[in-house]
Every structure is written in C-alpha cells, then in structure tokens.
Chains A and B, each alone.
Chain A
Amino acid sequence: MAGDLRKVAYYPGCALEGSGGPYDRSTKAVVKALGLEMTELDDWNCCGAMEVKNIDPQVQTYLSARNLAIAGDMGFKTVMAPCNGCYHNLKKAEHDLAHNPEAAGVNRRISAKAGHRAYEPGGVETIHALDWIKKAVGEEELARRAKGRLAGLKVANYYGCMYTRPRHIFPEKDKGPGSESTLKPHFMDDILAAAGATNVDFPLKTACCGGAHSLSDSDMSTKLVLNILTTAEACGAEVIATECPTCHTGLEMHQVRAEKVLGRRTSVRILYFTQLLGMALGLSARSVGVQENLSDPGDLLAEKGLG
C-alpha cells in the first residue's frame, strides 16, 4: 500500500452527506479517537453510484477519475472511501483507465472539456475504511484500546456486494494470508473481534440486499433483506454490522417494510461497524450518531452496557 497511511484523503460521497449521516459521523469520531488523520477532498462529485453506469459506463469512470485527479492534486497517494459504492467505483475507474483504452479516451476528452487535468491511472490508491483501520492501526492496537468493551455482543458481519465483486477490480485482494478475501471477506470480523465482539458464522456476508432497486423494486429488496435478517438471527446474531450506507439503510428500511407488508418481524439490530468500533473505543452512542439511525438499537446497547 502506497503512502503514509496515517494521513489520507477522505471521499465521503453523497450518501454520507444524507441518509448515511451516522456513518460519516461515526467514521470521523473513530478516526479522531484512533489518532488518524484525513482531509476531505475539495469539490468532490458523486461517483455515479449504481445508476450512472446504466446510462453510460464511461461517464461513471469519468466521475471517479475526476475525484482521483483531485486527490492527486492535493498531494495524496491514498483516498479512503467508507461507502462501498464509492469505493467500488473508484477501484473500477482505476482498473478501467489502465486496461480499457476507450474509457481512458473518454476520460481525457471530458476532462479537457471540463477544464481540468485528466487523471492518469496509478497515481492514487483507493482504500476502504475497513482496509484503512485494519492496516493503519491493526488488531493489536485496537484490542489494547477497546479493552473488550464489545464482549458478549454477537455480531453478523455483512459486507454486501460492492466490496468484493467483481474480483478483477480489486488486485490487492485474494493474495493469501493478510490480504482480504473476495469469497469470504474477514477484515470487519478481524476489527470487531479485536474490539471484543463475538462474530457468528454468517453465510450471507456478501449476499445482495437489493440496494440498487431498494425503491424501484421494493418487493424484491424486501425479500432479499428479510433473508439476510432471518439468517443472521438464525446464526445467533444480535447485531448486523454494516460497512455500506446503501446496505445499511436498505436493511433498516426493509426491516420495517417486511413487518408492515409481509407481517414478518425481525429484531436483529443494525449498526455501522464504525459505530460499534467507536463505542468499543469508549465513545458515547450519541457521538457515533446512533440516534440518527432509522432503527433504534437503544435497548440492546443499554443491556450490553454500551453507549
């Protein structure tokens, strides 16, 4: 991994300014508590999420290339994105610009018209908040600071689709011990285990929540989410830890919808991994934005002596 990992550029993305507000708040709180440093990208733009690629994939590549160019201009070698969608799109742009001449050509053309330098691949590395915390801090340090505050909490770690698929845009994954696995990711498990949590054996770590069609095909999303929630409960989890604002909001929304529309009630709680980690570091539930979540985990947190 390139550059000084204690100082990275921060790309929050649109969701973290809106419905993913608690993810933004908790990420910032954890970063501060761990003594890491991040600087928000100047004048960043939306990565195109899951939607712009359906209009035109080359435009989606340009959107991420512009953000990578800004990171480079600000002197950063590493840009950190906590949102799986942003992370995926930045990684995909990096790959496409290096391997697809058409994508590189369109990027140069739109960049010229837009009046800024065209990003050349290889200058900036994108990492996820998970990679960053695991590599810049490490489990030993986390365990020392967390003092087992999450002990007794049973967690299902849910990574979603965009963190591991498709494999070819993540050249650093699947490289053996120490690297992340695209089939059975474990970085979140590692971090929360270090904080004292008990990770349950959860088979749907990379299942899809239907986030792309959360609103446009709600019935499908509700079925997919309900499957994730009931499986987590069957595995003994009290909490599902998330690392993506779309997954997180989708799980919360469709947990309510499953109850209202299908009459299927589930009680597993949903928290961002940064919220769990923040509380493990001794921060209050309020300072990691738990009250901004759509669902209310208050009773469970009280029972576990957290927050």
Chain B
Amino acid sequence: MPIHEKSLIRPENLVTNDSLVIDGVDVSGHWSTFIRARTITDYNEAMEEEIAALPGGENIHRCWQCGSCTNACTVNAVNPEFNPRYWIYLIRQGLEEELLRDKDIIWQCVSCNKCTYACPRDVVPEGVMKATAHWLELKGHTPKSPSTHFDESFHDSIVRTGKIEEGRILLEFLKKTGQPLRQPWLEALVRGLVKRFPVFYLMRMGWNTVMRPRTRGWRRAGAAIEDYVQERKAGQARALGLDQEA
C-alpha cells in the first residue's frame, strides 16, 4: 500500500535506506522512509511587501490560509500544481526559492474571479496572482508572459485611440510571441467563414482597413492616462528596489 503523504514531499527529499541501524533499531526499507532535514536560511523578507506594492497585491496580508481560493480555482482543476493558497503562503513566509519552482505557471490565472468570490477575507487572490506574475517579470525571474504582451498591446491601443482594434492586436500579439499566423485551427476557422459569406467578410476587412476605430476627442485623456501609468510604474520600481532605467 502506498504511503499517501509521500506525494506531498518532493522525491529528492525522501530517503530510504537499504540497511541502517540507529541506536540498535533497524530502520531499513520502505516502511522507514525518512524526510531529509533542511535548514532554511535564505528567507526573502521583502517579498510580501514588494508584491503588495504592485496592482492587485494590496490585500495579501489578510490571508489566513483557508484554501477557499485553490478549492474554487478554474486553473487548479486543470493543473493541480496551480495553487494560489500555497503561493500566498510562500510569499508571506518569504520562501522565494520554493515560489520560483512554479514561476512559469503563475501567469496562467484566467481571472475568472472564483477565488475572489469565495475568499472570506477579501484577499482578492486573483489580483495577488497578477501582482506575483508581475513581480516575477520585474525581478527578471521570468520573461514577459504571453499574457503580459497581450495586456500591453491592449493598453497601448487604448492610450492611442480610446478603443481596441481586435485584428491589429491579434497580429501584433502573434508577432511579439513569435507565433505563425498560419495555424491549422485558425485557417479552418477562416475557411469556414469565407465559404459561408465571402462578400460580407471581404467588405468588412476592407472597411476595417480604412475606418480604424477611434474615440473622438481622446488625445488628452490618452495622454493623462499615460502620465499616470508612468508615474505609477516609477513608484513600483522604487518599491521593488529596481534601477529606474531597467
């Protein structure tokens, strides 16, 4: 019969001895599995405050580890490694090295807000996930995620025009993330459409090239938003102790 708790310990920290006697007691074999002792000295005491300084992370200190967020999580149901409760624990303990093991999946939060709905402490775990993903990027632990590229294209489009041009953002996104436009499923979609109503789509494509969506009288609002965002970014860089140029 397997020892279920074993699955909670990483394999490299489990030790089974073929023949070991301690104080006259034989502790060989499977039933005497040991967990390797470890001493943690490299706490990152600034991590919680730094993440709290980023948008969405403000309420992380309120968490009392009930696990409602992970229990409700959409992504956790697909990938059990995606565990907001655990990551909040690691951040608050300053266990940076442990957090970095999961650095490449934290950005995958889909913002469904099930965690925020379930949280009894108003932690807004969805925001904490975004702040954490942001922190990992700003600190250079991960490259910009596809999601961040998307957010930035989107934001830039709004600052410029007040609106979103879906086609333009799609192309820009595929280019930034190095993905080919010719993907079998995208082609299948377009083929299906064109077959059903070719004239309409040609007309709309032509129309969209000439008439770009734009909010009238937006210039000052766009500039005011950009000023504010730059100011906030400078403040965040200071809070994270980053070089302003970086």
- The chain A residues found within 8 Å of chain B, CB to CB, are 14-15, 17-19, 21, 43-46, 48-59, 62-63, 66, 106, 109-110, 113-116, 161-162, 164-167, 182, 207-208, 210-213, 215-217, 220-221, 223-224, 252-253, 256-257, 259-261, 291-292, 294-296
Contacts and interface: CB of A to CB of B under 8 A. Distances in A.
A294 B193 contact: yes
A25 B57 CA distance: 40
Chain A interface, >50% SS class: helix
A261 B147 CA distance: 21
Contact of B200 (A18, A113, A292): A292
A50 B200 CA distance: 29
6 contacts: A14-B213, A46-B164, A57-B55, A110-B221, A166-B113, A213-B147
A65 to B, nearest CB: 11
Contact of B108 (A55, A66, A213): A213
B241 interface: no
A256 B112 contact: no
Given A43-B218, A110-B221, 16 more contacts: A18-B165, A18-B213, A19-B166, A45-B162, A49-B164, A51-B150, A54-B147, A56-B55, A56-B229, A59-B228, A110-B228, A115-B221, A166-B116, A253-B185, A256-B189, A294-B189
A215 B150 contact: yes
Contacts, number: 174
Given A14-B164, A46-B163, A63 B158 contact: yes
Contacts of A43: 215-218
Given A59-B228, A114-B224, A223 B78 contact: yes
Given A58-B228, A292-B200, A165 B163 contact: no
B116 A165 contact: yes
B163 A14 contact: yes
A29 B45 CA distance: 59
Nearest to A45: B162
Contacts of A182: 117
Q: Report, as a range, how many residues of chain B touch the other chain.
A: 35 or more
B166 A18 contact: yes
Nearest to B131: A54
A212 B110 contact: yes
Q: What 4 pairs across the A-B complex have the smallest Cβ distances?
A: A208-B112, A113-B224, A114-B221, A216-B146
A292 B196 CA distance: 9
A294 B228 CA distance: 39
Given A46-B158, A51-B151, A56-B232, A224 B74 contact: yes
Interface in B77-122: 78, 108, 110-114, 116-117
Given A110-B221, A110-B225, A213-B108, A44 B158 contact: no
B116 A216 contact: no
Given A51-B150, A54-B151, A62-B225, A161 B173 contact: no
B178 to A, nearest CB: 13
B63 interface: no
Contact of B147 (A18, A49, A216): A216
B68 interface: no
A220 B112 CA distance: 13
A296 B154 CA distance: 29
A216 B145 contact: yes
Contacts of A58: 228, 232
Contacts of A224: 74, 78, 110
B216 A291 contact: no
A114 B220 CA distance: 5
B158 A45 contact: yes
